[in-house]
Amino acid sequence: MRGSSKFSKIPTATITRLSIYSRYLEALAQEGVKIIASDKLAQKCGINPAQIRKDLAYFGEFGIRGVGYFVKELLFEIKRILGLNKAWKMALVGVGNLGSALLAHQNFVRQGYEFAAVFDIDPNKVGRRLPNGLMIHHLEEMERVAPEKNVEIGVIATPAAHAQQVASRLIQAGVKAILNFAPIQLQVPEGLAVENVDFTVKLDNLAYHLTMGNT
């Protein structure tokens, strides 16, 4: 991460928790809260106070002992750490039910993520203008359109059978990271960031807890 061996050793779970902290801090800032104690923030996030302090310690010293954290300052620093102090251009591939829902998800915009290009291979969809003003391009146009739109993140919402091919096209188009909703492990070059979102894995986790709770 960030080209530094120091940052490459930070646990993925810590980055995930930083995102959680930022959501709650954003809400607190909107409510006008100026300072929050670490134990109160931990309570809201459902995380141990010591864990919050450990996570933040990777990146420096935050807060004042006996006082707490200044909400806006900590939110600013976490957003800077996560790279949310800039807008990220994304390309969506696959305009089915899931893809359409992702395009309509307002949280992307609020967090600084913007869909700049959309692709599909369905002739009944290609060329259609979406409610957000974007036109659906054919996948064959990926290598031309993605660089023109300065796309850095690709979002795959296609069936699993097409996901690897789509990932390869995204990589050829210069995309630097992929958010994959297809239930398949993608093969990508070393150094390219991939996050897999498989809803069935989450459901399996719930099923496990339900099963153990009934035994």
194 three-class SS: strand
Average pLDDT (97-119) is 91
Place of tokens 């692709």: 119
Average pLDDT (98-123) is 92
pTM of the complete model: 0.82
Q: How many Å apart are CA 54 and CA 24, to the nearest integer?
A: 18
Average pLDDT (172-187) is 95
Domains and CATH numbers, the chain: 5-81 (1.10.10.10), 88-201 (3.40.50.720)
Report residue 181 CA to chain centroid gap.
12
pLDDT score of 74 more than 60: yes
Q: How many Å apart are CA 186 and CA 168, to the nearest integer?
A: 9
pLDDT score of 83 more than 80: yes
User: How long, in residues, is the chain?
Assistant: 215
